Copies of this chain bind each other. A is one copy, B any other.
Amino acid sequence: MTMKNPPFTPIPEETLTACLAQLAFTDQGLVPAIAQQHDTGEILMMAWMNEAAVRESLTTGVVCYWSRSRQALWRKGETSGQVQRLVHFRYDCDRDCLLLLVDQTGVACHTGRRNCFYHEVTSDGIKVISKVEIDPKTLYSK
């Protein structure tokens, strides 16, 4: 992974605690997180975080989500190599949604597409608007 940006500075415990106290988690202890490529503005994906995932992301600088299907921490890219390096961590006015500005290695989507939002609803029907860049078999055979 090339380091186009300054190395990540871990967030101090005091700030991390303040952030976790501010965030409005759901009854399941989760908050939605939008991942956006920091330099192009491309929206890559949306996933969920719990407190542990927020804490890990803000201390390591590598994005970690909570997998609702697996009910486990999801270190994005751990299997596929398609990691997200954290550049900026923001939250919204209601404190119930995160915006992660990241540097995505390779592709964000498990289908091998750069981003997950590849269905578009048009007046001519529902279209697939982006192509597979990496064969998912390659991504998950490591």
Contact = CB atoms under 8 A, between A and B. Distances in A.
Interface of A: 9-12, 15-16, 18-19, 22, 32, 34, 36, 40-43, 45-46, 58, 88-95, 97, 99, 109-111, 113, 116-123, 125-126, 129
Copies in the complex: 2
A49 B10 CA distance: 36
A111 B93 CA distance: 8
Given A11-B121, A43-B99, A92-B116, 14 more contacts: A19-B126, A32-B32, A34-B34, A34-B46, A43-B43, A58-B121, A89-B121, A90-B117, A90-B118, A90-B119, A90-B121, A92-B118, A93-B116, A95-B119
B121 A99 contact: no
Contacts of A41: 36, 40-42
14 contacts: A11-B123, A12-B123, A15-B126, A34-B43, A36-B43, A41-B42, A45-B92, A46-B92, A58-B121, A89-B121, A91-B119, A93-B109, A95-B119, A97-B116
Nearest to A90: B117
B121 A19 contact: yes
Contact of A11 (B58, B109, B122): B122
